Amino acid sequence: MAVSGLQIYDSRERALVRLADAALTPLGWLRRAPAAAPVRRVLLLRLERIGDLLMVLDAIADARAAWPDAELDLAVGSWNGPLAELIPEVNRIVTLDAPWLTREGRGDGWPAMIVRARDWRTRQYDLAINFEPDIRSNLLAWCAGAPRRIGYWTGGGGALLTDAVAYDPREHVSVNARRLVARVAGRPAPGASAARPAGARLAPPPEAAAWAAALVGSLPRPLVGIHVSGGRQSKQWHLDRFAEVGKRLATSHRATIVLTGSPADRPLVDAVHRGLGGVRVIDACGGAALPALAALLARLDVFVTGDTGPMHLAAAMDTPVVALFGPSAPWRYGPLAARQRVLRVDLPCSPCGQVRLPPERCRGHVPDCMDGIQIETVVAAASELLAQARAQPA
């Protein structure tokens, strides 16, 4: 795909990055391709949210396959530290909280981030791979001092990299990330249909597995998980519809409903719980750190959710997923699950991609692209996945 400009939605931000790129142009003139050398230490940067990290698990596995004897360090936000510890291919986790990624508005200031990134030089990285198309994280990769640095120029900061490529917005995040690794490893670039590791991609610790086992106990299966929070208003489905889906699946499949959510999701979960009536319910809202939540999701027979971090976590644990998509594009951000159903409605304006700042007419209520998803469609998709699971040999 030919890309002629920066892929930054906000026009003011795009103009600022264009100016910064112009100032950084002399660095590009000085850039030299490093001589071939053994790769002993690799820095991978993925500072964003839960789902963003989980969508590059295949690329991390590719890096391990490309450099089986190298030390792989992974830089993440502190919120993802416990999750990153579950990735078997990674040797070491380092954390850095970028203020533009912290939803609470906190994070490390620029002086602290620069000092932290320069401290990474003590690791003497041979290679840095930045999975984020962002000029700011490209700067952090440059500060880390690796002689070879690969990432995307389409978010700005291409002059800070030795290998700068375009991000293809028509492809999944995972495919773009895997192509970065393939390029620097000198391997053929994988396509969207490239083989992926089978089974669960994360390894929760024994205490997390024990917590999940105790929570579920001997309650009847199937276990149907429902994550009622969309994470953002623009991705929120109707709470009464979530409740009706749960009631119908509990009735038709004699299922136990498992409600998940963060402590902040408590009002939403309580509303759905009340709407479920007298069906069997496990309320796991707020009771699980990420490793324990991963272990719980692995025990579910199907997971119904919007486009959320837990959606990607369920997919990483090889759990069948029914995913409800509205303003975001499933071909870019969909669940990487072997068994999944992505539900959306075709509208001229969807997917708009305006998740953080939706159009004025879509604010304050469930937007049309989410409202169009019907209860019957969700129940049918979940029932189909449950039937497939029953048909598989034990």
Q: Which residue has the tokens 């699971």?
A: 389
Summarize pLDDT for 373-394 with one digit per residue, the tens.
Answer: 999 999 999 999 999 988 776 5
Look at residues 90, 87, 97 and name the one whose alpha carbon lies nearest to residue 41. Answer: 90
Say what the pLDDT of residue 301 is: 97
pLDDT per residue as tens digits for the range 154-196: 999 999 999 999 999 999 999 999 999 999 999 888 877 776 7
Higher pLDDT, residue 202 or 21:
202
Look at residue 311 and tell me whether its pLDDT is greater than 80: yes
50 in Cβ contact with 335 (< 8 Å): no
Is 103's pLDDT higher than 90?
Answer: no
Q: 3: alpha, beta or left, given left = phi > 0 and alpha = psi -120 to 50?
A: beta
**pLDDT at residue 107, as a whole number:** 83
Indicate whether 163 and 267 sit together in one domain: no
- Among residues 33, 28, 93, 30, which one has the least CA distance to residue 60? 93
214 in the same domain as 169: no
For residues 181 and 243, state if they share a domain. Answer: no
**Residue 1 pLDDT grade (very low, low, confident, very high; cuts 50, 70, 90):** very low
Query: Chain-wide mean pLDDT for the chain?
Result: 92
Rounded distance between C-alpha atoms, residue 129 and residue 188, angstroms: 17
Closest CA to 40 of 146, 149, 163: 146
Amino acid identity, position 88: P
User: How far is 17 from 160, CA to CA, in rounded Å?
Assistant: 13
Give me the pLDDT at residue 21, please: 79
Q: What is the pLDDT of residue 280?
A: 95
Q: What percent of the chain has pLDDT over 90?
A: 78
Q: What is the dihedral of CA 357, 100, 4, 56, to 10 degrees?
A: -100
Mean pLDDT, residues 258-269: 96
Co-location of 138 and 211 in the same domain: no
> What is the tally of helices (H) and strands (E) in the chain?
15, 12
Total domain count, the chain: 2
Of 30 and 89, the structure prediction assigns the larger pLDDT to 89
- Residue 3 included in any domain: no
Please report, for the domain that includes residue 314, its CATH number.
Answer: 3.40.50.2000
Q: Is residue 8 part of a domain?
A: no
Smallest Cα–Cα separation from 385: which of 335, 350, 349? 335
Q: Residue 30's pLDDT is what?
A: 62
Q: What is the mean pLDDT of residues 212-231?
A: 94
Q: Report the predicted TM-score, pTM, of the whole model to 2 decimal places.
A: 0.94
What is the mean pLDDT of the segment spanning 59-87? Answer: 97
The number of C-alpha atoms within 13 Å of 188 and in the hemisphere containing its C-beta is 5
> Closest by alpha carbon to 72, among 60, 54, 85?
60
Q: Does residue 88 belong to any structural domain of this protein?
A: yes
> Residues 84, 105, 296, CA angle at the centre, nearest 5°?
35
Domain shared by 91 and 221, yes or no: no
What pLDDT does residue 18 have? 84
81, HSE (Cβ side, Cα atoms, 13 Å): 8
pLDDT at residue 100, as a whole number: 86
Q: Is 331 part of any domain?
A: yes
Q: 154 and 238: one domain?
A: no
- Degrees (nearest 5) of the Cα angle 315, 320, 323? 75
Eight-state DSSP code of residue 159 = G
Q: Tens digits of per-residue pLDDT, 271-298? A: 999 999 989 999 999 978 999 999 999 9
Domain housing 137:
18-185
Q: Is 66 exposed, middle or buried (0-12, 13-18, 19+ CB in 10 A)?
A: middle
Say yes or no: 246 and 377 in one domain: yes
pLDDT (0 to 100) of residue 199: 87
**Is residue 170 in a domain?**
yes
| Of 175, 183, 195, 209, nearest in space to 291 by CA | 209
Return the pLDDT at 29: 60
Q: Rounded to whole angstroms, what are the CA distances from 146 to 72, 114, 240?
A: 13, 15, 52
* 3-state secondary structure (DSSP) of residue 94: strand
Provide mean pLDDT across the span 229-236.
94
The three-state DSSP-derived secondary structure of 35-48 is: CCCCCCEEEEECCC
pLDDT of residue 233: 92
Are 313 and 295 a contacting pair, CB within 8 Å?
Answer: no
Question: In terms of domains, do 283 and 317 share one?
Answer: yes
Residues with Cβ within 8 Å of residue 202, at least 6 apart in sequence: 57, 83, 86, 87, 88, 294, 313, 316, 317
194 located within any domain: no
Q: Contact, 296 vs 303, CB < 8 A? A: no
Q: Are residues 100 and 161 both part of a single domain? A: yes
Q: Which two tokens stand for residue 372?
A: 């169009």
For residue 7, being part of any structural domain is answered with no
Residue 2 lies in a domain: no
Same domain? 231 vs 363: yes
| Predicted pLDDT of residue 138 | 96
How far apart, in Å, do the first and last CA atoms of the chain sit?
44
Question: Are the beta carbons of 310 and 292 closer than 8 angstroms?
Answer: no
pLDDT at 4: 56
**Is the domain of 112 the same as that of 36?**
yes
Q: Are residues 181 and 242 in the same domain?
A: no
- Residues 46-71 have pLDDT tens digits of 999 999 999 999 999 999 999 999 99
